[in-house]
Chains A and B, each alone.
Chain A
Amino acid sequence: MPAFTPRTILPRLVASVFALALVAGCATPPPADDKEAMVEWEQVNDPLEPMNRTVFAFNQAVDKALLKPLAQAYREAVPPYGRDRVRDFLNNLRSPIILANDILQGAPDRAVQTLMRFAFNTGFGIGGLFDLAGASGIPYHDEDFGQTFAVWGIGEGPYLVLPIIGPSNPRDGVGLVAEWLGDPVNLYIDRVGEDWAMWTRSGLAGIDKRESLLDTLDEVERTSLDYYSAIRALYRQRRDAEIKNSLGEKPTPGMNVSSAGGLSNESH
Chain B
Amino acid sequence: MFSRRSLVAVFALLSLLALSPSARADATADARAFIQKLADTAMTTVAVKGLSDEERSKRFRALFVDTFDLPEIGKLVLARHWRAATPEQQTEFLKLFEDIQVYTWTRRFKDYGGETLEILAVAPEGETDMIVDSRIKREKLEPVNVSWRLRNKGAEGFRVLDIKVEGASMAFTHRSEYTSVIQSAGGKVDGLLDAMRKKAAQMSADNTAAAAAAAPSRAN
Contacts and interface: CB of A to CB of B under 8 A. Distances in A.
Given A256-B125, A266-B79, A225 B167 contact: no
Contact of A44 (B80, B121, B145, B179): B179
A112 interface: no
B177 to A, nearest CB: 5
For the side of the interface on A, what is the size category? Answer: 35 or more
Given A223-B100, A226-B181, A246-B167, A257 B162 contact: yes
A80 B140 CA distance: 10
B164 interface: yes
A223 B203 contact: yes
Contact of B145 (A36, A219, A247, A261): A247
A60 interface: no
A242 B206 CA distance: 34
B131 A255 contact: yes
A223 B172 contact: no
Interface residues of B, number: 45
A237 B173 contact: yes
B134 to A, nearest CB: 10
Given A233-B168, A257-B162, A268-B75, A251 B173 contact: no
Interface string A70-92: 00000000001000000000000
B41 interface: no
Contacts of A238: 166-168
B172 A257 contact: yes
A229 interface: yes
Contacts, number: 111
Interface in B157-208: 162, 164, 166-169, 171-173, 175-181, 184, 192, 195-196, 199, 203, 206
A253 interface: yes
A6 interface: no
Contacts of A251: 120-121, 123, 131, 133, 147
Interface of A: 36-37, 40, 43-44, 80, 219, 222-226, 228-230, 232-234, 237-238, 240-242, 246-248, 250-251, 253, 255-257, 259-263, 265-268
11 contacts: A44-B180, A222-B203, A226-B177, A233-B176, A237-B169, A238-B167, A246-B167, A248-B143, A250-B120, A251-B121, A263-B169
Interface of B: 75-76, 78-80, 82, 100, 103-104, 108, 120-121, 123, 125, 131, 133, 135, 140, 143, 145, 147, 149, 162, 164, 166-169, 171-173, 175-181, 184, 192, 195-196, 199, 203, 206
